[in-house]
């Protein structure tokens, strides 16, 4: 059908339904258009943009076969209490079909403090597992072959230390570093703009990140050295377009820092990965995933002149949206997670974590985690969504939405470039302010009823009973962990620890030195996470958050 004929038919359609549509109240947040046609995706570059799966610009997926070759990695984010308890949960997940591990660390670990530090009081083992030294990491992966499992670690400011511990555990198991597979999040820029678990100022933090890029390119080549994370940007309240724009701007900053440090783009870009959120609006999320691949491919090819196809492929992990889970009617969250899972799969994710129904109330129980894992397995094996490659390609709406989100994201990236890049934009508070404004608008819409959240502002239940089987971390965990740390310190060679920390301090003071070998050496003496981070604090200082007025 010609464009002229489509236009004529569209005008007839509009005339015939205008009166009928007027009878119904308008629902906020719906797309401006009610109907999408081929006219909405007309573009002289459209054929190239759509292309084929596994072909630049990768709109339809980074592999030509996608899930017809193999499914995404099914990870379950887990970690709580002690290394012993978390190890049991990891082994249960593997036995139930999880194909990768995803480690959650407690708050003191995330910001580089030992469990014995007064600042850690009351937080040890609460939102993740406490890891104070190599001894804890050995326990965490006891009876788990690191040569056979892919492990993702959600750790940022002290990522170099946790990676060093993982390498040391593998070495003790007899697994060489060049065989290790997995990911460290290692994305500090989004911590400044959205999440808050930072330690050092941006410049030394960027040095640590590029040190990891360089070290792993030589010694841990199968490891994904960063998971550039939009997830937490979205959790903080951003829109879909802001999520990918601010995250890709961070990715550009990491690439520029690595090039400035003397690396070549194709030496490290193939091991960069991304981390996206999967929200409730299924089709918008699919479009977001497709647009993100297209933008990154263009950035790598046109801005950084990457030559390798692998450097241009945006590979990503997805987690279902924690911020969309509700404490009210928590079983509704099972449905939300299933829809978010469908969005991630139809959008072409490489790895996926599904949240549990009770996570708005507590850490998930074993039963809830099992339901969340089964959700992925049902989508994979029963839904048919993984049977074909890019099942929504050609949808007028999805293609138009992909183009729209891409255009909005490019506008943000251009603004950030004009400010001097992501680091400068964060230092000026621009990215933080944009996220805050979007979050405020969302919340006002919920409170006014313009946006419906089932069970929260509509379809509520009176006298709703809270779940009785929530997981509770024993308050004694902190005391037991402190005792373990003190016992470990009494057994180790403290002179060796002192020497290793002095060597690390000297390396920190030499800005041309790669810190990874020195951190690994300190880890092997059983120097604690806090001791290592305190050495770096002494040299680098600590970051003070930008205050938006």
Task: Take residue 91 and report the two structure tokens written for it.
Answer: 């082994």
When pLDDT is averaged across residues 224-239 and rounded to a whole number, the result is 96
CA distance 6 to 421: 43
327: which DSSP letter?
S
- What's the burial of 430, exposed, middle or buried (CB within 10 Å: 0-12/13-18/19+)? buried
**pLDDT in the model for residue 328:** 96
Other beta carbons within 10 angstroms of residue 24's beta carbon come to 7
Rounded mean pLDDT of 474-479? 88
* d(C-alpha 431, C-alpha 354), whole Å: 28
pLDDT of residue 419: 97
- Token pair recorded at residue 175: 């697994």
At 84 the pLDDT is 95
DSSP 349: -
pLDDT given for residue 36 in this prediction: 72
Q: Which residue has the higher pLDDT, 225 or 49?
A: 225
Please report which residue ranges of 51-133 form alpha helices under DSSP H: 83-95, 107-110
pLDDT for position 133: 98
Rounded Cα distance between 229 and 153, Å, is: 13
Supply the pLDDT for residue 20: 61
Cα distances (angstroms) measured from residue 224 to each of 35, 216, 250, 270:
41, 9, 16, 8
Chain-wide mean pLDDT for the chain?
Answer: 92
Tokens of 333: 């969250």
pLDDT tens profile 370-427: 999 999 999 999 999 999 989 999 899 999 999 999 999 999 999 999 999 999 999 9
Q: Bridge partners of 274?
A: 228, 316
By the 10 Å C-beta count (0-12 exposed, 13-18 middle, 19+ buried), 355 is classed as buried
The predicted structure's pLDDT at residue 41: 72
Question: Does residue 548 surpass a pLDDT of 60?
Answer: no
Tell me what pLDDT residue 13 has: 65
Burial of 289 (0-12, 13-18, 19+ CB in 10 A): buried
Which residue in the block uniquely carries the two structure tokens 């330690």? 199
For position 312, what pLDDT does the model report?
Answer: 98
366's enclosing H/E stretch is helix 366-381
State the greatest distance between any 2 C-alpha atoms of the chain, in Å, as a whole number: 85
pLDDT at 292 over 60: yes
- Over residues 343-379, the pLDDT tens digits come to 999 999 999 999 999 999 998 999 999 999 999 999 9
Using CB atoms within 10 Å of the CB of residue 155, give its burial: 0 to 12 exposed, 13 to 18 middle, 19+ buried: buried
Q: Which residues of 69-93 are buried (b: 16+ CB within 10 A; e: fewer)?
A: eebbbbbbbbbbbbbebbbebbbbb
Alpha helices per DSSP H over 41-199: 46-50, 83-95, 107-110, 134-140, 159-173, 189-190
- Per-residue model confidence (pLDDT) at position 439: 97
At residue 281, the pLDDT reads 97
Integer CA distances (angstroms), 133 to 15, 126, 459, in order: 70, 18, 49
Cα 167 from Cα 173, distance rounded (Å)? 10
- Residue scoring higher pLDDT (40 or 213): 213
Q: Please tell me the predicted confidence (pLDDT) of residue 46.
A: 57
Q: Does 64 have pLDDT greater than 60?
A: yes
Element (H, E) at 534: helix 529-540
Two structure tokens written together for 232: 């937490």
The model scores a pTM over 0.95: no
Q: Tens of pLDDT along 131-167?
A: 999 999 999 999 999 999 999 999 999 999 999 999 9
Predicted pLDDT at 290: 97
DSSP 3-state of 397:
helix
Given a cut of 90, whether residue 473 has pLDDT beyond it is: no
| Predicted pLDDT at 12 | 73
């Amino acid at each position: 059908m010609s464009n002229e004929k489509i236009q004529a038919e569209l005008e007839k359609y509009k005339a015939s339904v205008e009166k009928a549509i007027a009878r119904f109240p308008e629902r906020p947040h719906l797309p401006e258009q009610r109907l999408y046609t081929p006219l909405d995706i007309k573009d002289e570059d459209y054929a190239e943009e759509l292309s084929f799966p596994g072909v630049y610009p990768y709109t339809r997926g980074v592999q030509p076969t996608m899930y017809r070759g193999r499914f995404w990695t099914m990870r379950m984010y887990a970690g709580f209490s002690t290394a012993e308890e978390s190890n049991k949960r990891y082994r249960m997940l593997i036995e139930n079909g999880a194909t990768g591990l995803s480690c959650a660390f407690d708050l003191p670990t995330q910001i580089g403090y030992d469990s014995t530090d007064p600042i850690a009081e009351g937080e040890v083992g609460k939102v993740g597992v406490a890891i104070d030294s190599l001894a804890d990491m050995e326990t965490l992966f006891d009876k788990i072959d690191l040569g056979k499992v892919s492990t993702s670690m959600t750790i940022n400011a002290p990522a170099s230390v946790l990676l060093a511990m993982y390498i040391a555990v593998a070495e003790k198991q007899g697994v060489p570093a060049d065989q290790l597979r997995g990911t460290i999040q290692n994305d500090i820029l989004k911590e400044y703009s959205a999440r808050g678990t930072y330690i050092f100022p941006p410049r030394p933090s960027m040095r640590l990140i590029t040190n990891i890029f360089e070290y792993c390119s030589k010694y841990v080549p199968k490891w994904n050295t960063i998971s550039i994370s939009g997830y937490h940007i979205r959790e903080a309240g951003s829109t879909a377009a802001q999520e990918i724009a601010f995250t890709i701007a961070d990715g550009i900053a990491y690439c520029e820092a690595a090039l400035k440090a003397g690396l070549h783009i194709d030496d490290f870009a193939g091991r960069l990965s991304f981390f996206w959120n999967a929200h409730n609006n299924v089709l918008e999320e699919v479009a977001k995933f497709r647009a993100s691949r297209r933008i990154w491919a263009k950035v790598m090819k046109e801005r950084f002149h990457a030559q390798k196809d692998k450097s241009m492929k945006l590979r990503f992990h997805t987690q279902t949206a924690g911020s969309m889970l509700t404490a009210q009617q928590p079983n509704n969250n099972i449905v939300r997670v299933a829809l978010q899972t469908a969005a991630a799969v139809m959008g072409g994710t490489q790895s996926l974590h599904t949240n549990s129904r009770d996570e708005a109330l507590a850490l998930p129980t074993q039963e809830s985690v099992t339901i969340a894992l089964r959700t992925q397995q049902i989508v994979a094996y029963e839904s048919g969504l993984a049977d074909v490659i890019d099942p929504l390609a050609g949808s007028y709406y999805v293609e138009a939405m992909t183009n729209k989100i891409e255009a909005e994201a490019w506008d943000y990236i251009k603004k950030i470039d004009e400010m001097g890049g992501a680091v400068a934009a964060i230092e000026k508070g621009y990215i933080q302010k944009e996220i805050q404004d979007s979050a405020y608008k969302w919340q006002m819409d919920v409170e006014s009823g313009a946006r419906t959240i089932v069970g929260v502002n509509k379809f509520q239940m009176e006298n709703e009973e809270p779940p009785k089987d929530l997981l509770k971390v024993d308050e004694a965990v902190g005391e037991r962990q402190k005792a373990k740390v003190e016992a470990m310190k009494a057994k180790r060679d403290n002179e060796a620890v002192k020497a290793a920390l002095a060597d690390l301090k000297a390396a920190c003071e030499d800005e041309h030195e790669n810190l990874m070998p020195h951190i690994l050496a300190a880890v092997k003496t059983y120097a604690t996470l806090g001791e290592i981070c305190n050495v770096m604090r002494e040299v680098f200082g600590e970051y003070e958050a930008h205050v938006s007025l």
